[in-house]
Structure 1
């Protein structure tokens, strides 16, 4: 029997009804990223009205460089519908970003010089940014991929040109709905490279008047927090749990950066992509073995329960906007327009909806709540508790059972329900007294059978 049939049969046996998260509505995510700031507790982002902002990004690194305007519109409309509120894209893209023109034949830079941006190229970037904002999407805008500012044969930036380029972007997009992201899959390896990054940040601040948040997209875990923790321009930590292994606990990366000082929100800016080969850089890897939606869900929920302020999703065919007319990178094998409907993207929207519906900004990671259950490996269970004690959230990535102390829930009575992160559906199954020890057995188990337990006081 399929999981859908199993769920339906189980749900019909419940005395309570089946609860669906509310659908997205056009314009429901009109948060102004230009007004975003770090919450007072340093753990999440908030909009101008102090409403917590759950950062849910799709990775579209090559959008500016490879898509025409009709394609930009189709892509953005799809991502807004699925519940994303941030689109991560690069001005000077990784794949031919400074040596190949965009869809309209325009190079990004005049004579390859970052101090002389090409206005024609940027008119197309303007269009994409504006259309994203009209869909209620902020742009997580990377000025440059890492290979262009770090030491090496492809380096085009020095301190002077980095500040000029940063100021140009800052002024041009001063009033846009965006977040700056420096780095671009690279780490700061020397004092010289640090000066270039500081100069670009200084230029951005000079150009936009400090209106927008700035982060840094590194390669690997905890590197931005270690290498740039003293940077006054850095507003939130971003890690990259990457694509190295299946069942790698992304929550460990979040925990690492949450321990850093000064305290800042933490987001995984590049977890395992749907459709990318597992351990893609290993020699002799099997290209048929790819991460799927089970892997992307697991990465997101582990990070969220570990205390992340949001999450980024990626698809191997979408980030590079691959078509059959292009050379594939890292085993791309399906046109991006088809890959938009891969299930992991829709399920990322469920993650955001759940987090917002259950007041994620008040959660605290609480692994100590798990009295018995899998605490390592692919079935590792993670738990969080609302600060006021009125809610406990537990994620079981393989539907493995676990035991909790119900006395951790405030109030005499509480409701118990299962949330299915594959379909965005919630099932209330019991009202119970808030004392004693209880074992919980999810409705199904095995790889791909992940479940979220919700305990809410009445």
Structure 2
């Protein structure tokens, strides 16, 4: 599919750099606050995902390795993918020349296909990646759209789940995601619960969540289920303002018992807004809005998506959602190359001890496109400005005596130090106004 010399070089380079990366910090779990994820030894874990739904069915092993090599360099540590995919039928031939199931029977996954998944999992582990695996896309439970057919019921779903759990319970680099762009009501509820129950009956160590359809959350059906370790929302591909996080993420954060929450499918880079070409396409700034707005709201992680990559669009394949760039040419688009700037920030500032600050800043010019989002830890206050020129910012009392002022450009990661200030209000002039977004970092002086 892509240049074979590139694949060989990429695999050699990545092996040389990442060989022997151990998962030495232990399994993943929810931390003591109930808001974030960590390893067994207490090391914080930022779930920084990438959407590759069709990777296992549409890429060869070599192509999957080249793709994953590329993601590691961008700060991504989780690849979201599907065993029984939406776009390759269960009886159709996958990229490795075999179907996913034998005779379309969920009790008989094709051994060659499972061996392919084993190999991809092993390579992902070698370079330090988790695979967040959906056992099936939602059309196999509730067709609505996609290839289908509906092949699961409550009984075979549990059998299938147990089979998968048995096969991969000992692997260190798996996160389970039940669902697949579908709801959990009606007949679906019993099937999804049975699938989760089957996996958990033999796999006691891996985290599990649920992927809902657009503008819904796993909490709507499964928040109180023991198998749901953290909530996943899908803000989807139609909303363009912070309102969606106020409505969905803040709601999930108010639920009891407390569970972490993250946006597992925000607006994809290069997908048409509202799925309509006449409305334009979501660009890098739209992706950055979702990243910084969700994380400063209090999310435990974030998943990037690219309209060309989720489907692994390539010559001869129907372009879903108006895909326009082949997957191997879409791996270095603007927004995905900017994720690393947030990852470095997260590693610098102890997000796990922080809290969202509602209504921390208001524009004092004509800007009304979106709103600023604030976040505060013991020693830091962050505020993400989606655009505009002039803002007035409220400073919590604990910071008011004296604080350093620093700007971060989310497009480049560049820092601009502006000295020190004090007081309970701060009049803001963004370094570059208009449609440019900026992150303000205040550090309390001790």
Provide the TM-score with structure 2 as the length reference: 0.90
Q: Is 1:89 aligned to 2:84, yes or no?
A: no
1:73 is aligned, of 65, 69, 86, to 65
Partner of 2:212: 218
1:100-150 Cα distance to aligned partner (Å, 9 max, x none): 221121111111011111111111111111111111110111100001023
Equivalent pair of 1:240/1:271 in contact (CA under 8 Å): yes
Q: How do 1:40-79 and structure 2 match up within 5 A?
A: 40-79=32-71
Task: Give the 4+ runs in structure 1 shifted more than 6 A.
Answer: none
Secondary structure of residue in 2 paired with 1:166: helix
Partner of 2:323: 332
Distance change (3 Å), C-alpha of 1:28 and 1:437: farther
1:67-126 Cα distance to aligned partner (Å, 9 max, x none): 011101110000001110100000001102413221121111111011111111111111
1:327-380 Cα distance to aligned partner (Å, 9 max, x none): 111111111011101011111222222122111111200124336669995331
CA distance in 2: counterparts of 1:80 and 1:454, whole angstroms = 27
1:418-438 Cα distance to aligned partner (Å, 9 max, x none): 0111011111111224x3422
Distance change (3 Å), C-alpha of 1:37 and 1:159: same
Instruction: Report how far residue 27 of structure 1 moved.
Output: 7.4
CA distance in 2: counterparts of 1:123 and 1:322, whole angstroms = 24
Equivalent pair of 1:277/1:290 in contact (CA under 8 Å): yes
Q: How do 1:239-250 and structure 2 match up within 5 A?
A: 239-247=233-241, 249-250=243-244
Structure 2: segments with no counterpart, 5+ residues? 1-16
Q: Is 1:229 aligned to 2:223, yes or no?
A: yes
Partner of 1:11: none
Partner of 1:353: 344
CA distance in 2: counterparts of 1:312 and 1:375, whole angstroms = 32
Q: Is 1:443 aligned to 2:431, yes or no?
A: yes
Equivalent pair of 1:249/1:302 in contact (CA under 8 Å): no
Instruction: Report how far residue 62 of structure 1 moved.
Output: 0.4
Q: How do 1:378-397 and structure 2 match up within 5 A?
A: 378-386=369-377, 388=378, 390-397=379-386
Equivalent pair of 1:90/1:142 in contact (CA under 8 Å): yes
1:193 is aligned, of 169, 172, 188, to 188
2:263 is aligned, of 268, 289, 299, to 268
1:207-233 Cα distance to aligned partner (Å, 9 max, x none): 32x110100000133431121122111
CA distance in 1: counterparts of 2:19 and 2:398, whole angstroms = 36
Partner of 2:272: 277
Q: Is 1:127 aligned to 2:119, yes or no?
A: yes
Equivalent pair of 1:276/1:291 in contact (CA under 8 Å): yes
Q: How do 1:300-449 and structure 2 match up within 5 A?
A: 300-370=291-361, 378-386=369-377, 388=378, 390-410=379-399, 412-433=401-422, 435-447=423-435, 449=436
CA distance in 2: counterparts of 1:221 and 1:248, whole angstroms = 13
Q: How many residues align?
A: 424
Instruction: Report how far residue 444 of structure 1 moved.
Output: 0.7
CA distance in 1: counterparts of 2:170 and 2:258, whole angstroms = 28
Equivalent pair of 1:399/1:446 in contact (CA under 8 Å): yes
CA distance in 2: counterparts of 1:313 and 1:140, whole angstroms = 13
Structure 1: segments with no counterpart, 5+ residues? 1-24
Distance change (3 Å), C-alpha of 1:28 and 1:339: farther
Distance change (3 Å), C-alpha of 1:380 and 1:371: closer
Partner of 1:178: 174
Equivalent pair of 2:263/2:302 in contact (CA under 8 Å): yes
Distance change (3 Å), C-alpha of 1:104 and 1:457: same
CA distance in 2: counterparts of 1:48 and 1:82, whole angstroms = 25
Distance change (3 Å), C-alpha of 1:59 and 1:273: same
CA distance in 1: counterparts of 2:174 and 2:365, whole angstroms = 40
CA distance in 2: counterparts of 1:124 and 1:32, whole angstroms = 25
CA distance in 2: counterparts of 1:202 and 1:186, whole angstroms = 18
Equivalent pair of 2:18/2:126 in contact (CA under 8 Å): no
Equivalent pair of 1:278/1:290 in contact (CA under 8 Å): yes
Distance change (3 Å), C-alpha of 1:399 and 1:417: farther
CA distance in 1: counterparts of 2:432 and 2:267, whole angstroms = 25
CA distance in 2: counterparts of 1:63 and 1:336, whole angstroms = 10
1:296 is aligned, of 272, 287, 303, to 287
CA distance in 1: counterparts of 2:101 and 2:210, whole angstroms = 23
